[in-house]
Structure 1
């Protein structure tokens, strides 16, 4: 049974448990991690090893659902080995654990860009405790046990696009697994779109400088953290700051400028996708395109409704390629998506529509 089909929670029998591979050069860390996991009936420690090569050897023989991967190890580091481990894992999720990989660091963002599902700072060897155990289980809950909507079994109907204008602006929203998905999204953009691209990725403020730098490596387009009142330019990527929602407004002379806001609802992240989608719907009307990538929760669904009501289109990442099909799944079940696609096919789809309507 694959990991993305298993919800965290008490289960009975090894056949239903999530199979976990622990890769850490510290015997203390391996022992503590195994103790945390075996105390929960939803997990089975399939194997423990202290280096990346042995992990690859095991993955060549046995499947797992989750890999807990240390960064600092003898021989090959976890970051260097990560691409091969993801390939050998054949769909297994990877959580990076490291005492020197702070959650807002460049190394952490690089790990997420390479395809890690999440990262968690590992305490000193003598400092493992209940707080770390709760944090680790919380990360697993985020990936494997994302809440299911009451209408999760509802049939999904794709919406036929309306409106007759060319694309004028693209807004992209993402959360868990989104940094890697963004890399795939921009890798699939073989020609410039000729429009501004706004990106809201759920991240704390400390991540944002490294995230923008990493994003710039994924595309030939210029990337910057959005600043209040700057005029939106074509073929420029604007990243939402960690402490504000990224929106836009029309100026007195008809140009469209960045409008940042720190307003939040009790259930929303900051930055959030909904305000961004609402803003581009208001400013660009039927020329607005919303893209919803992997992430937990429903952020983006309300804003997607505004885009559709204004004549624009919304494209959501498909379930098979998502780390967590929460945000895109919510949009799809609401009947707001024109297409469900893997990230690398989204920009070509949008380009095709732009060419038709231009």
Structure 2
């Protein structure tokens, strides 16, 4: 049997998307062995490969029947990954769509998969019943900017039922507020694509957020600007419990660092400070609160963050999964590495892109460099 068994194609071009279904791709086949023994975890935790061949795996979302949907960025693909026999390893990988423009963001609601590319959001209705023959996508909105710089998106539905959609700055650092105030924000829209509002301002590039399980308020990761050196400014975790808060980009970074070019326009005192500062250039992106019960109690309701890793720092940093700890009132109390080892001697063999808890209490980690999804479990 070939790598892709019983290939069936269903071709259609709808609102610019070419659909393809690959039936029962062998998810465990890999052209290379990954050194999982190098991954360091707290005592009692184990890591395994849950799915392979998920090209450029980025954001994940779990369907109501357990399907794990996976966006990509450079590959332009959207995957659906299934563990059909319950052995904690995926055995089927479907391609739901291809030819999209950096479709990193995926979200699931009421049986439908929402997919975000640079300027559009699509909806695939009743998708879990049609994995082998994906339905034609419904265009939800095409009103987002077309600029590709920081244009890829992480999307998620909030407790209020709205779909939250970030819009990155179309630059390393620039002031676009008067030209188009939607840049460097996190927006929200209704599920039908109407009623777009800006929820938070001054966020340079968010590729991850989630809502605290107790307070139901949003925490947003953001990547700091480049070209100010190895150690400035830090990436941030921003807490936006109310609409309209401004976190300062491009005038102020991390609540206290005036930008050399734009800082004279508005002082840092005008803006909301971050809830937490990560290391500079660690590329903190996918973020999820862990609400399961399989991990020890100390991890419950804590925020797991994928640190994708630096691209231009003289000494690389990141390439790990960390935990931001909080109390019941959503106050940050600490920060520590959770899974690390993808970076070895200055070279990275993997890049964590997102984290996604599963109903069984395990934690998936996508890796867009090695084209795999890992499963981290506790105990036997």
TM-score scaled by length of structure 2 = 0.27
More strand, by proportion: 2
**Whose Rg is larger?**
1
TM-score normalized with structure 1 length: 0.29
